[in-house]
Amino acid sequence: MHRLLLLIVCVTTVTAAPLHVDLPTVMKLAGANNDEIQLARARHTETLAESKLAWQRFWPSVTLGAAYRRTDGNVQDIAGAVFDVSKQHYTLGPNIMIDWSPGDMYYSALAAKQKALAAEQLAEKARRDIVTQSTGRYYDLLAAEAALAIIEDDLRLTQDYEKQIGGAVEAGTAFRADLLRVKTQVSREKLAIRQHEERRDLAAAALAEILRLPAETELRPAKADLVPVRLVDRKTGVASLISQATQHRPEMKAAGAITTAAAWERERARVAPMIPSVQAGYGFGGLGGGFNGDMGNFDETQNVFIGFGWKIGPGGLFDKQRKVIANAQEEAANLQSSQVKAAIGREVVEAAAKAQSAFDQVSINDEAVEAAQEMVKLAKERQASQLGVVLEYLLAREELTRARQSRVQAVTRFNQAQHELKRAVGR
């Protein structure tokens, strides 16, 4: 993927020629170098590391080192007597220490695992959103290129017609006013071409931005023709689509993981304080030293410590506020999950409505294009038989161009709606 991106950038930089891309390439590039996706993945990596670290806290800590200690002056013995000493000692060896709060550690590890799962799903959501946005901008570019091709085709035919009328004027079989009317139409179409070129360049810049390509990259669609592409079966009802969305949308999976994490935090607040904390240690090695400057008497030594207890107060037993906070957080997570579900349902309904409306508009525009083509044909026949006028033919051609451009927009909206519907149902 990165090699493909590097190749595209290098070719664009060296040749400074328009770069033709198709939809599969756009969809691949959308996630190759997008900082929003990278940020979501970085957050997932962070939460995943935190989850692993939570389980690693069950491992004891081990230290290996040496220590030296000297005391001069008054000290007090265990019986209370104070006396003057001059002594020293040194140690060498490893120490194994355990400082566990099993309840807190266990439930926090379970919650951290769910948070990592939520971050993973949110990263997937970011990727799908960027791909859908990139797809929409690609279709905008494709529509601009197709509309430009229609105007260029119309200009070519109008210029040919201008030559015909010019010849007729010279022969005295047509009026000069008709020729000027055609020339005005040519100028109008040239102006329209420049406007459509501007729209195409703006659409290309928007696509290059979301693909994180250099701003000066001139993108062009691989094909300028638009074909309606259905991605979701029309026979599938809205209720079925919503059901699919609640099962497959990463937002729902993330919300479910966050809710589960909040439930584990609630259990942590309720159960963890009742589980005693454990502290244990074991050290072994050598100990040496003695009075004054004596450094001898080095021999083996070892010590063992173990203890357990309960914490009372904040963070421990009888901490009611901790339970209140945990319950409130779980309730908030459940409410947020309900909000996400409602939003997903709305998105599915809207996307399905847009897709159906766009499909109907494509059919209507097909009828309009067919009628306009017939109108142009009749106007041309009337013009050839001297029964019609130039204006009638030009108006018919203008109506055909308008119908063809309207169809381009309808097909574009349909394809964009299909990709939005596909994203909405979690595919």
Q: Which residues pair with 88 in a beta bridge?
A: 70, 290
Radius of gyration of the chain (CA): 38
pLDDT at 224: 56
pLDDT at 339: 92
H or E segment and range at residue 66 = strand 61-76
Judged by average pLDDT, the poorest of 168-182, 223-237, 406-420 is 223-237
High-pLDDT (> 70) share of the chain, %: 93
The mean pLDDT value of the chain amounts to 82
Topology annotation, domain 2-71+86-424: Outer membrane efflux proteins (OEP) (1.20.1600)
Burial of 324 (0-12, 13-18, 19+ CB in 10 A): exposed
What is the C-alpha to C-alpha distance for residues 420 and 53, in angstroms, rounded to an integer? 39
DSSP code, position 3: H
pLDDT at 12: 45
DSSP code, position 319: -
Q: Strand, coil or helix: what is 156?
A: helix
Written as one letter, the residue type at 394 is L
User: Taking the CB of residue 202, how many other CB atoms lie within 10 A of it?
Assistant: 13
The pTM score is 0.76
Q: For 347-369, what is each residue's pLDDT tens digit? A: 889 888 888 888 888 888 888 88
For every residue of 4-54, DSSP letters joined together read HHHHHHHHHHHH-PPEEE-HHHHHHHHTTS-HHHHHHHHHHHHHHHHHHHH
pLDDT at 332: 92
Q: For 26-65, what is each residue's pLDDT tens digit? A: 888 877 667 777 787 788 888 888 888 777 777 877 888 8
CA angle 394, 400, 405 (to 5 degrees): 125
The residues near 320 (Cβ < 8 Å, ≥ 6 apart) are: none
Helices 320-384, 390-424: axis angle to 10 degrees equals: 160
Q: What is the token pair recorded at 304?
A: 């063992």
User: Would you say 118 and 43 are in contact if contact means Cβ atoms under 8 Å apart?
Assistant: no
335 has pLDDT over 90 = yes
136 has pLDDT over 60 = yes
pLDDT at 191: 92
H or E segment and range at residue 346 = helix 320-384
Domain ranges of the chain: 2-71+86-424
